[in-house]
Amino acid sequence: MRILVVDRNVAVRSAVTLYLQNMLELDTVRQAGDDEELLGQAEVFCPDIVLLDWGSPGAAPTELLASLQAFDSRPSVIVLGIRLEQRQDALAAGADDFACKGDLPARLLATVRLAMADRSAGSLS
């Protein structure tokens, strides 16, 4: 599985990346800090899963979700937000799931594992 972590805060990106690499034993986790980097990485890296900061600078998150959905190899998108109230907006905009940045890391891990299982099951059909 290829995962792309998108967050404007380099410390958050790095922590999430390191956590996922250690917990999921992944070598293929990349990072992006803004919408331009996100779209460039998504085009070249073809991630299976994108963890998208709902507050990334640049384009509106809804526009970024639409852009990601237009890729041939459409990734699963998990939106990372700071408020649980953002969940409904993110899901309505096309996100596959939502995780609150204030949740325990185990919750994020469970969300990513579920997305990985969904992607694996989808590739079998």
Q: Report the DSSP beta bridge partners of residue 80.
A: 53, 99
- With a cut of 60, say whether residue 68 has pLDDT above it: yes
Q: What is the DSSP string of 35-51?
A: HHHHHHHHHHH--SEEE
120 exposed, middle or buried (CB, 10 Å; 0-12, 13-18, 19+)? exposed
The pLDDT value recorded for residue 69 is 87
**Is the overall model pTM greater than 0.85, yes or no?**
yes
- With a cut of 50, say whether residue 61 has pLDDT above it: yes
Domain residue spans in the chain?
A: 3-124
The pLDDT value recorded for residue 56 is 67
The pLDDT value recorded for residue 97 is 96
Backbone φ, ψ for residue 57 (5° rounding): -70, 155
49 Rama class: left (phi>0) / alpha (psi -120 to 50) / beta: beta
The domain made up of 3-124 is a member of CATH 3.40.50.2300: yes
